[in-house]
Structure 1
Amino acid sequence: MNILERFRAPCGWRGGAKQLSVDAVIPLIAVPVLSFAAAQTLLCTIITFVTTPILVYYLHHNFLRFLLRTKFFLMWNITSVVLLMLVFEITVVPLLEILPEENWVFVISVVGGIGCAYQTRVKADSGNQDAALSHVIELGDTGGELCTTCRRRAPPLAYHCRMCQTCVLRREYHCKWLDCCVGGSNLRWYMGCLLFSAIAFIYGSNLTMTSVCHPFIFIGTILLPDDCSDVYHQLDIALCFVSGVYSLLAGLAVLRCLLYHLWLIWIGTTANERRLALAGGGGSYGHDMLKNLGHIFCCKAC
């Protein structure tokens, strides 16, 4: 039996051995390896951050997209958060360059993001979606169309998700990084996850970068990194610098997604409805590779 596909704890788990697919194991190895590789030199950092999105796209385009549902992106997300948190608490905090209050703000943001992400997945459970649909149908709303996949009549604002294999009320899209659908039942929790995550990533990046680099005063007590030329003299400091850059990029991506959803709420529509409207109107997202990269790194999966 393939060791990568089946793990068994020494004390045994409830229900026996737990299966873990190969696509879910890859991030557990790739994220730490890539982080340490990027921390070697400035050139290694540049190469790693440029090639990693390309490698992820290649893996998704040639393998992952043929799976009905993959845990790759969820495990990449979890591994990244755990690694960034460990680097910050074990390496950055002992440098004594940040205040305890600043660390508490960061920790609360991380815990808030994790809690909202967990609730997003719980609320997106297929049982909850089925209950919501049944409730609407029991109220006598039979104006919806018959879903050819579910073989049942769904409300007008429900759309089928081939990954969750159910119709989702006010569906936005299937979020790869949380491995669940975002819709009417969990949108508020998802927005909370985006908000807390954006704060945690960007704020943590600023604290890390100003701790390992020579900072300068931007406005009042707000510091920004200035000279980071000597961070590669020590491996632990270089790892902090790499994690700070990674955290900043992740924070900007999450912030973009948050602003996008705020804009959708402002105009009174959903991401799925907008996508269908653009497709029906002949709108184009651009080149296929750029579109797929956008879907991969901006949470979306149609």
Structure 2
Amino acid sequence: MSSRRSEMPLITERGAPDPSSVDISLADGKTWAVAEETPVALIYDRRNYAVMLATPSDIADFAIGFSLSEGIVTAPDQIESIEILHKDVGIDLHIGLATDRLERLEIIQRRRNLPGRAGCGLCGLENAETLTAPLPPVAPRPADLAEDALAKALATLTNWQPLNTETRSVHAAAWCNAKGDILAAREDVGRHNALDKLIGANARNGVDHTAGFLVMSSRCSYELIEKAARAGIPTLASLSAPTAFAIRKAAEANIRLYARSGPGFVALG
């Protein structure tokens, strides 16, 4: 992703947003903060594309990041408008695309069995061959990260997780510079949603993904590698062990992958 700021879509919002957490009463009279989970319908030019369960925050970032990581657009200026409609139950995200992206949208939709879906980005795939299709390689191959940069990011990540501090139940995706300073972070009940939100935020701010690395508070599975590859993110560090499939796909996409092991990290490719 280039460091040049692309022209941003027109963003409008209607209705009252839901809170990201709610307090529930316990039997002993105390209250407990729990994370909210809201159905978010992504609708492209009046075409129902997906329904995701997500934390109802940073929704414009989510719209842009999801569109990029799904391959529907390759730059935020290919999105002309975003309308966020808060309803009694859930959120409708109406996303207007540039005319030349509508054909791409139709191709992607034909590969899926479901008009809408919830959960991770794998539901509704037409066949296993779609899942194992090559990912776009990230170039150039990044250099090894310094151990102290990884340690610094790990030590400060909780400072960027206010919702998780409150609820202890959400994931975070954080963007760091080469020294390990966290520059931006997003939270969500779904790790893939947190990454989409961060990708969208970085796109809106013209962040150069070749100049830093991604930290995920979760384990690293295939869909995170897929999203990172499409966003041009060359280095990813996760706080839990990745799956074997994720390791293979990271190597295929030229992504350098790290996972926490004890107090430090191990390089996995």
TM-score between the two structures when normalised by the length of structure 1 = 0.21
Q: Which has the higher strand share?
A: 2
Greater relative contact order: 1 or 2 (C-alpha under 8 angstroms, separation 6 or more)? 2
Larger Rg: 1
